[in-house]
Structure 1
Amino acid sequence: MSSIHPAILKTQAWLEQVIIGLNFCPFAKKEFVNNTIDYHVCAQRKLEQALETVIARCHYLQQHDEIETSLVIFSLGFRDFEDYLDLVDYANQLLVDSGFEGVFQLASFHPEYCFEGESPLDAANYTNRSPLPTLHIIREDSLARVLAVYQNPEQIPDNNIALAQDKGNNFFKQLLANIHQKHE
C-alpha cells in the first residue's frame, strides 16, 4: 500500500494520462519526469484557510528554486464549481496583494470545470477538468522562457479543445472514473 496521499496519486495519474498523455500542456512532461512538481494536499474547506495555504505554497516556491511548480489539491473542499471560482478570484487577488504579481500566476482545474458561456456537456471543458479541485501555481519567468522557444504557443488551447471534442465526453468520464477507482 502506498503512503502517498490518494489525492496526489489521482493527480499524478491525471497528469500522466491526460495533461502529458494527450499533450494538453507540452511543458508538463519535463517537470513530471524531473520530479520538480510540488504536490500539496489541502484538506481545508474554508476560504480563508485555503487562501493561506495557497500563499504558503508561493513562499515555498520562492524559497525552493529546484521546484518548478506547485499543485495545490483540495481533497475535501471546493467541490462546488461556483465556490471554487470564488476561491480562484480571491487567490488571484491575494497574489497581487502579497506582492506575487508578475512572479506567479494561477491555472485552475476542477472536476466540473466549465468555460464561461459554454455548455457543461462540451468535451472541451475536459482540458481543465481534473480529478479534484486544483490550483496550479506557475512561475511566470519559467513560463515566459518556454513560451519564447515554443512554436505557435497561441494554438495550444485550440488544439486541446479540438482533441478533447474529438475524444468526447465518454472517453474522459471513463478515464477519470478509472483514476478515482484505482486510487481510492
Structure 2
Amino acid sequence: MSSTTLPSAAHAIAETRAWVDRAVIGLNLCPFAKAVQVKGQVRYVVCTNSEPEVLLSMLIDELHALAHCEPSETDTTLLIHPAALIDFLDFNDFLGVVDDALDELGYSGTLQVASFHPQFQFADTAANDLSNATNRSPYPTLHILREASIDRAVAAFPEPEAIFEANIQTLEDLGADGWAALQAQCRKDAQTS
C-alpha cells in the first residue's frame, strides 16, 4: 500500500490486529495483551477522517463507551486513525489535547490513553533506534485502557518495571531486518484476511 493511499477501515483493522498478534503478543512486548485479545475484549475502531477535531470527537465517544461497558465485553479500545496526525510531531502534540479531554470528562484515574505511531520516537533517541519500535504501530493509534485492568495486570506480574528493558533487548535481538520482516508479514496478513 503506498503512503498516499489510505487503507480501508477493514484493512487498517486487519493490519493492526496482525501487529497486535505478531509484535505486541508474539514478541511479548506487552505481557497483558494476550488474554484480552484471545477473549475478544479488544475493540478496534477506525477514524477515516483527517481532521484532528473529528478524531477528538471519536475519541470522546470511545472514552464514554469504554467507561460505560463491562470489562468482560470490552476491556480496551484501539482507535486507529490512518488519515489523521500522520506526522509524529503533530500526533505527539495532540496527546496534550487527549490528556485535557480525560481531565475534562472526569476519566483521569479511571481511563488512560497510550500512544502508538509508525514514526514513534522516544525523547533522546535517534529516529532509527530500535527501542522506538516498542511503540510503533502500522498506523497512528490511540489505545484506551482501563486503569483498573492495568492495576490488576501489574499486580499479577513480577517486576513490571522490567518490561521496557526486556522489550529493548527483544528488539535488539530481532534487529532492524527482523523488525522490517515482521512489519512486512503484518501487511501480508492484512491482505489475506
> For the superposition of Structure 1 and Structure 2, which TM-score range results when normalised by the shorter chain?
over 0.9
Deviation at 1:29, TM superposition (A): 0.3
Aligned mates of 2:96, 2:169 — CA distance in 1: 28
Deviation at 1:4, TM superposition (A): 7.2
2:18 — aligned with what? 13
Letter in 2 for 1:23: N
Letter in 2 for 1:59: H
- Say if 1:36 and 1:113 are closer, same or farther in 2 by CA, change over 3 A: same
Contact between 1:124 and 1:161, CA under 8 Å: does it hold in 2?
yes
Letter in 2 for 1:51: L
Deviation at 1:62, TM superposition (A): 1.6
Deviation at 1:182, TM superposition (A): 4.2
Deviation at 1:47, TM superposition (A): 1.4
Letter in 2 for 1:49: V
Residue pairs, 1:1-184, within 5 angstroms: 5-65=10-70, 66-184=73-191
TM-score, scaled relative to structure 1? 0.94
Contact between 1:109 and 1:134, CA under 8 Å: does it hold in 2?
yes
SS of 2:161's partner is helix
CA deviation string 1:133-154 (max 9, x = no partner): 0010000011111111211101
CA deviation string 1:113-146 (max 9, x = no partner): 1111101111111111010100100000111111
What percentage of aligned pairs have identical amino acids? Answer: 37
Contact between 2:15 and 2:187, CA under 8 Å: does it hold in 1?
yes
> Which sections of structure 1, spanning at least 5 residues, go unmatched?
none
CA deviation string 1:82-132 (max 9, x = no partner): 111122221111111111100111111111111111011111111110101
Letter in 2 for 1:156: I
TM-score, scaled relative to structure 2? 0.90
SS of 2:53's partner is helix
CA deviation string 1:65-91 (max 9, x = no partner): 121000000022211111111222211
How many residue pairs are counted as aligned between the two chains? Answer: 182
